[in-house]
Structure 1
């Protein structure tokens, strides 16, 4: 599927079933600290509203998503947005979809008045870290051994960039 055939758009409530399936399909200890989603788990809830997501649609099907939210409800950092989730369907990997979603999220953050973007990524997730670095994010902090995943301590890497 060429990237030209991909449309990135805001999520809609009707996307819930497809997004929940994508979330289950892409779940991995490489990036997840929460347990694997249950087969009947809702994707949207009081903390994860459709307005928080952009979806990538290819050939009429959802092939990826990114979650973009203010990091806190505080007015003092209303100029910041945070990526709190990125997933690309296995069949759509390697086509630049993750990069396109990040760029769309940065554009949306600018439209919302933000001038800074942050995220957190697990230290052992080398593919995600490389993607974020290629998109201008730099490591701004590391919480060593922040998570104990399957008997192994894993760093929580804080990354950020300005939105020019």
Structure 2
């Protein structure tokens, strides 16, 4: 499936340090948790509710990688699709802070902490961000810090 190409609404110049966005919510089901884990992280506490009772989590819970994938889905659907995003050079940190259980409602918040034009690529801006996913009790379950690359609208005027 190919996303239709459209002109971005937001470029690097439109993003501001300190800006926080709420990027929507998802609620994983037990079936989704087991399906993801079956393919990508087949540990007993992600696959079997009975086995999970004896784990440190006490119940079936989502893989941390599943939680990351859900955060990425919210980021792409509710932010990156409207931007001039050029991808990411990577993360500086990733922490799973609490387990995610079936039926939890997860909300993603995205905060811009730094931005600069890339030295060797004056048409590309680098944006440092913090992603925080919280559950329905506003408890953080995931925190990631990293960078995104965005095309500049007017490279010659900004560089």
Does TM-score exceed 0.5, indicating one fold? no
TM-score (norm. length: structure 1): 0.24
TM-score scaled to structure 2, two decimals?
0.24
The structure, 1 or 2, with the larger RCO (C-alpha pairs under 8 Å, 6+ apart) is: 2
**Pair member with larger Rg:** 2
Going by fraction, where is strand more abundant, 1 or 2?
1
